[in-house]
Amino acid sequence: MTIPALTGPSLKKFRCSLLTWFVEHKRDLPWRKTKDPYRIWLSEIMLQQTRVAAVIPYYENFLARFPDIQSLARSRAEAVLSHWAGLGYYSRARNLHRAANEIVAGHGGNFPNEHEAALALPGIGRYTAAAVLSIAYDKPLAVLDGNVARVLARLGALRGDLRAPSTWQNLETTAQDLLAQKSPGDWNQAMMELGATVCTPKSPKCGECPVAPWCRARKLGIAEQLPEARKKRATVQVTIAAAVLIDPKGRTLLVRHRDNEGALFSHMWQFPAVESTDEKQSLLAKHLQDKLGVKIKPGQMTPLKSARHAVTFRDIRLLPFLIRVERLPTIDGAQTPALLNFGRLAISNATRKIARVAIAHVRVLE
Ligand code: SF4
């Protein structure tokens, strides 16, 4: 991929124009006030698949509880997950915690400043390694994420699927060629900021763009058409039947599924649940009997209002059932919190949605 006239003095002017714009227009974000690699790393992980506005309160709460890598490594995974609860994509939190332990064990508690060492940590790919090392340590590594790829595709009027491996590799080379070597951290942030605020997916603001003179898509009048739409992975419909057991004291039962047990939210506390293909209660009743030893009598399961939950390509229909029991079963490692207050237990948004439906139902009956 080539961007017209981006060599020699023109490239210098291009870099200068974008960096000046960044200094004047960058958003005031908490992770931009620091060069601490831990804080930058945390922000980059939280920002994956999550909007800036949603991340800010989580970022601040997380740092109040885990102010440095050592405190994160010392904590139990459960505590880390409970501070992540609601942010979604929980493998990010588990990897963050594992990586903190590896950093303490193998790097003296300091985020490694070598590319290969950073890439070897759990949950750190090329993008995150380049972002942390360039911003915290001024390493000349260009980032390539969706925002940067869109800007580059428009600058070079590149057609086709940007995520196709050869195209992505091509974009990585272009991003690295454009990188301002003396200020790689600012440069990377400027490219991402341009994509997030000016060169947006829909209606790019070309009139306000600091690199408009170099943009081939703008000249051709095709900025809005690029990047071309990717072939979407087909949505998979999933139905989950969940049991909200409740005892006379208002306590319920939360369990944790292990990996590969068919659960969608492994490691998080959740209502006993089973994937189902229809609305029949028999699968859930069988699951409760086989796994928890709870025998359900006819008519004991009250169907509650269903809820929807989306996770990547899965469209999940949640079917909760309220089941009143004299006594909750005694299960090793399970939790029996009050349905009205789960405290700081690490629960997923799907579990929260089911709890809300059940609480609303119980309150109507009170
Ligand atoms: Fe994007 Fe328009 Fe700027 Fe080109 S001129 S980089 S399309 S905002």
For residue 141, how far is its CA from the centre of ligand 1 (angstroms)?
23
Q: What is the distance in angstroms between the CA of the first residue and the CA of the last residue of the chain? A: 66
For residue 299, how far is its CA from the centre of ligand 1 (angstroms)?
62
Q: Please indicate, yes or no, whether residues 301 and 320 belong to a single structural domain of this protein.
A: yes
Residue 115: give the domain boundaries. 8-225
Q: What is the mean pLDDT of each run of 10 residues along the chain (366 residues)?
A: 73 96 97 97 96 97 98 96 91 96 97 97 97 98 97 95 92 95 97 98 97 96 92 84 94 78 65 79 88 89 92 87 94 90 84 93 77
Selected catalytic residue, list 44, 172, 224, 326: 44
For residue 19, how far is its CA from the centre of ligand 1 (angstroms)?
15
Which of helix, strand or coil describes residue 107? coil
Q: Please indicate, yes or no, whether residues 174 and 280 belong to a single structural domain of this protein.
A: no
DSSP letter for each residue of 242-305: EEEEE-TTSB--BB-PPTTSS-SSTTSBB--EEEESSS-SHHHHHHHHHHH-PPPPTT-EEE--
Give whole-number Cα distances, 204 to 147, 160, 217, 333, in Å. Answer: 12, 19, 11, 52
Pocket test for ligand 1, best of 206, 208, 222 (most atoms within 8 A of CB): 206
Nearest CA to ligand 1 atom 7: 223
Q: Please indicate, yes or no, whether residues 93 and 55 belong to a single structural domain of this protein.
A: yes
191 C-beta closer than 6 A to ligand 1 = no
3 C-beta closer than 6 A to ligand 1 = no
AA identity, residue 361: H
Q: Please indicate, yes or no, whether residues 205 and 277 belong to a single structural domain of this protein.
A: no
Q: Please indicate, yes or no, whether residues 139 and 284 belong to a single structural domain of this protein.
A: no
Contact 350, 342 (CB under 8 A): no
Nearest CA to ligand 1 atom 4: 215
- Residue 89 sits in a domain whose CATH number is 1.10.340.30
- The yes-or-no answer on residue 44 being catalytic is yes
Q: Supply φ then ψ for residue 328, to 5 degrees.
A: -75, 145
204 C-beta closer than 6 A to ligand 1 = yes
Domain boundary among 225, 260, 281: 225
Q: How far is CA 229 from the centre of its chain?
A: 22
DSSP state of 335: B
Residue 66 lies in a domain: yes
Domain count, the chain: 2
Regarding beta strands 314-324 and 307-311, do their DSSP bridges make them parallel or antiparallel, or are they unpaired? antiparallel
